[in-house]
Amino acid sequence: MKIPLTQARFTKSASAVKNFPTDSRAEIAFCGRSNAGKSSAINALCRQNSLARTSKTPGRTQLINFFKVDGDSHLVDLPGYGYAKAPAKVQLQWQRLMENYLVNRNALCGLVLVMDIRHPLTEIDWTMIRWTKHYQRPLYILLTKVDKVNKNDTVKTLTKVTSDLEKQGFNCGVQVFSSTKKIGISQAQKKISAWLSEALERTPDLD
């Protein structure tokens, strides 16, 4: 069963667990540092220009945003992390909301970690990677903004990131991606669609 991401539609923004959709059997969540290109990646994967809100100001995504792909599955845009300009109280609220979603959301069947290829594997990225292994959440990595580096640097960074992950015992897919130049879109779509399909096949209908 192929899940067509291009049919995605905005469902709701949630500031609390009680606001999460109740009709979801499978969800893929996108996470990453603010300004890594997370919302742009979602738009590119869904072949839509303004599905997920983008901004030149890091940290604009302050809520958990849900996009319905079909009747039973969603893509989820999580607040960007690592942006310190927001007040400490607000940052704590974001952190608690994200942790609650990531740890307790039964519908979550995979995480896409978005990293700027020019600044990959920061310490806060490693924290997220270790977290996914601890809670046994499938992980896939997009190295975004590949259009901003030359081919040699692209190959070198992709090889190093893959090697560093393997050395630390992490077995997850890694690919390059550009929402601007439409690089790597089909590859990522196939991975996400497969994750959703597998989750829906093993999860009973909510009816």
pLDDT digits (tens, 9 = 90+) for 30-69: 999 988 999 999 999 999 998 987 655 444 557 899 999 9
Give DSSP secondary structure letters for the chain: ----GGG-EEEEEESSGGGS-SS-SEEEEEEEBTTSSHHHHHHHHTT-SSSS---SSTT---SEEEEESSSSEEEEEPPPBS-TTS-HHHHHHHHHHHHHHHHH-TTEEEEEEEEETTS-S-HHHHHHHHHHHHTT--EEEEEE-GGGS-HHHHHHHHHHHHHHHHHTT---EEEE-BTTTTBSHHHHHHHHHHHHHHHHHHS----
The predicted-structure confidence for 139-197, as pLDDT tens digits, reads as follows 999 999 999 999 999 999 999 999 999 999 998 999 999 999 999 999 999 999 999 99
Provide the pLDDT confidence category of residue 207 given band limits of 50, 70 and 90.
Answer: low
Please tell me the pTM assigned to this model.
Answer: 0.92
For each of the domains in the chain, give its residue range(s) and CATH number, in order of start.
5-202 (3.40.50.300)
